């Protein structure tokens, strides 16, 4: 079963060998970090084909890559945007069927396009299909350890059970990740690891694993003032709200964060807010000192223009902000353990504040902004960016891919 083609153009078709990129479609971060890699490969004359699902497909559409939409796999989300473990388990039979469909679709895509190498961003189905067909594969990933969103204080012994289940899942999935020929970890070694609780690598994977840093460009030649001019922003300091995650998560967090954005604009801040809707308009809507995009075409402009970044805790966006030297306020998606521990990492590195939704008030948010601007966070963020500037994840991933492409 061939996945449904949703855009019929492949960069550099038939010129040089083809690469199939299977990117996780939960949120936009996985495709977001694979697109720069794909652009670099296409620029060197290679054919690039994407497979994905969910909103991530629309993200690929904007870049005009040949893309196959496959069955969706995701966790359960409540109406308020919080992660639901109950709904996730309830949907397990459907998820297993979707995984089987994905493997079938991946096999069909690979048989059709005959790639020299396959890149999987956090997708087991892509690795399995590549192994079945004897095609070399590269795994790009940062979240090896799945952390269950359980309140361990509710029941005696729940903490031990949680640790056992998480360990079993880590080792079991690790067997699947071991199908890859190469494992590239899109995070930094300690002490600057963004997802420090998730980057737990099974012993049997370590010989083929390498830290490459988070994907995203460092601050380039474009000045803060030029970026603001291009975005039509007037006044400073600039606070950039970058929403991400599943559609329900983005909508719920927009409802919570937009009133805060309007409020801090009244305190003299200039606000840039991207709703992260890949099918949305790229035209800005302005009201006073607040500029809202449904979809910001070039996120690097937002980072370059900003003094402070506000995020839900997506690993890709946090890594990008670190490379731009931005202090942060992270409002993690409720019950989303990865986002919560990333927010904790930001706080522990002295790069900003974690404010959970239950603590989110205008006073708390405005107070965090004031502290960031005056208490050394700006300077620390700049120092960390300087230490990370030698990491170039895009180049490293492309180099590894080309090792399988060069005759």
Residue 147's pLDDT is what? 60
Q: Which residues pair with 241 in a beta bridge?
A: 273, 310
Sign of CA pseudo-dihedral 316, 322, 323, 325: positive
CATH entry 3.40.50.1980 includes domain 224-388: no
Pairing of strands 117-121, 16-23: parallel
Q: Give me the tens of pLDDT residue by residue for the chain, a chain 407 residues long.
A: 555 555 444 444 455 789 999 999 988 889 999 999 999 999 999 999 999 999 889 888 888 899 999 988 766 666 665 555 667 667 667 878 988 999 999 999 999 999 999 999 999 999 999 999 999 999 999 887 766 555 545 555 556 555 656 555 656 677 888 999 999 999 999 899 998 888 878 888 889 999 999 987 666 667 899 999 999 998 889 999 999 888 888 888 899 999 999 999 999 999 999 999 988 999 999 999 999 999 998 899 999 999 999 999 989 899 999 999 999 999 998 878 888 889 999 999 999 999 999 999 999 999 999 999 999 999 999 999 999 989 999 999 999 999 999 86
Q: Do 23 and 121 form a contact (C-beta atoms < 8 A)?
A: yes
Residue with structure tokens 């697109």? 35
Burial (0-12, 13-18, 19+ Cβ within 10 Å), 373 = middle
Q: Do 306 and 274 form a contact (C-beta atoms < 8 A)?
A: no
Number of Cβ within 10 Å of residue 393's Cβ equals 25
Burial (0-12, 13-18, 19+ Cβ within 10 Å), 382 = middle
d(C-alpha 78, C-alpha 212), whole Å? 35
Mark out the alpha helices in 25-146 (DSSP H runs): 29-43, 56-61, 85-90, 92-113, 124-133
Q: Which residues pair with 239 in a beta bridge?
A: 271, 308
**Where does CATH 3.40.50.2000 sit in the chain?**
4-214+391-405, 224-388
Residue 266's pLDDT is what? 94
For the segment(s) 4-214+391-405, the CATH number from 3.90.1150.10, 3.65.10.10, 3.30.70.3270, 3.40.50.2000 is: 3.40.50.2000
Query: CA angle at residue 93 from 92 to 94, to 5 degrees?
Result: 90
Cα distances (angstroms) measured from residue 85 to each of 53, 207, 337: 21, 33, 11
Residue 217's pLDDT is what? 65
d(C-alpha 105, C-alpha 94), whole Å? 16
Q: How far is CA 152 from the centre of its chain?
A: 27
Number of Cβ within 10 Å of residue 94's Cβ equals 12
Residue with structure tokens 């490293």? 396
What dihedral do alpha carbons 34, 71, 176, 115 form, nearest 10°? -50
DSSP one-letter code for 301: H
Pick from 65, 86, 66: nearest CA to 75: 86
Number of Cβ within 10 Å of residue 268's Cβ equals 10
Residue 166's pLDDT is what? 55
DSSP one-letter code for 205: G
Residue with structure tokens 């801090």? 264
d(C-alpha 301, C-alpha 323), whole Å? 13
DSSP string for 292-329: EESS-S-HHHHHHH-SEEEES--HHHHHHHHHTT--EE
CA contacts within 13 A on the Cβ side of 236: 12
Residue 4's pLDDT is what? 57
d(C-alpha 316, C-alpha 198), whole Å? 14
């Amino acid at each position: 079963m061939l996945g449904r083609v949703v855009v019929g153009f492949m960069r550099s078709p038939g010129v040089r060998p083809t690469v199939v990129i299977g990117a996780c479609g939960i949120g936009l971060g996985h495709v977001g970090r694979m697109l720069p890699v794909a652009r670099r490969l296409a620029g060197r004359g290679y054919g690039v084909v994407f497979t994905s699902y969910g909103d991530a497909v629309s993200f690929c559409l904007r870049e005009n890559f040949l893309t196959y939409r496959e069955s969706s796999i995701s966790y359960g989300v409540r109406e308020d945007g919080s992660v639901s473990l109950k709904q996730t388990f309830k949907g397990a039979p459907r998820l297993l069927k979707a995984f089987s469909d994905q493997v079938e679709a991946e096999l069909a895509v690979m048989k059709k396009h005959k790639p020299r190498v396959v890149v999987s961003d956090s997708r087991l189905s892509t690795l399995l299909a590549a192994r079945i067909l004897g095609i070399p594969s590269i795994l790009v990933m940062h979240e090896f350890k799945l952390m269950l969103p359980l309140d361990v204080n509710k029941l005696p012994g729940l903490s031990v059970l949680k640790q056992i289940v998480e360990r079993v899942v880590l080792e079991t999935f690790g067997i699947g990740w071991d199908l890859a020929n190469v494992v590239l970890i899109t995070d930094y070694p300690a002490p600057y690891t963004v997802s420090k609780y998730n980057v737990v690598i099974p012993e049997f994977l370590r010989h083929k694993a390498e830290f490459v840093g988070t994907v995203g460009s460092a601050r380039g030649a474009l000045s803060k003032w030029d970026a603001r001019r291009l975005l039509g922003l007037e006044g400073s300091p600039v606070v950039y709200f970058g929403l991400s995650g599943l559609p329900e998560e983005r909508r719920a967090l927009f409802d919570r964060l937009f009133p805060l954005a309007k409020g801090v604009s009244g305190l003299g801040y200039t606000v840039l807010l991207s709703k992260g809707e890949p099918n949305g308009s790229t035209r800005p809507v302005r009201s006073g000192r607040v500029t809202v995009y449904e979809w910001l075409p070039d996120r690097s402009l937002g980072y370059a223009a900003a003094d402070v970044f506000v995020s839900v805790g997506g690993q890709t966006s946090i890594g990008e902000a670190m490379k731009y030297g931005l202090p942060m306020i992270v409002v993690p998606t409720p019950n989303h353990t990865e986002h919560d521990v990333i927010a904790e990492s930001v706080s522990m590195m002295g790069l900003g504040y974690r404010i959970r939704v239950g603590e989110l008030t205008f006073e708390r948010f405005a107070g965090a902004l004031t502290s960031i601007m005056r208490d050394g966070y700006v300077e620390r963020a700049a120092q960390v960016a300087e230490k990370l500037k030698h990491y170039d994840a895009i180049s490293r991933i492309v180099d590894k891919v080309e090792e399988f492409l060069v005759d």
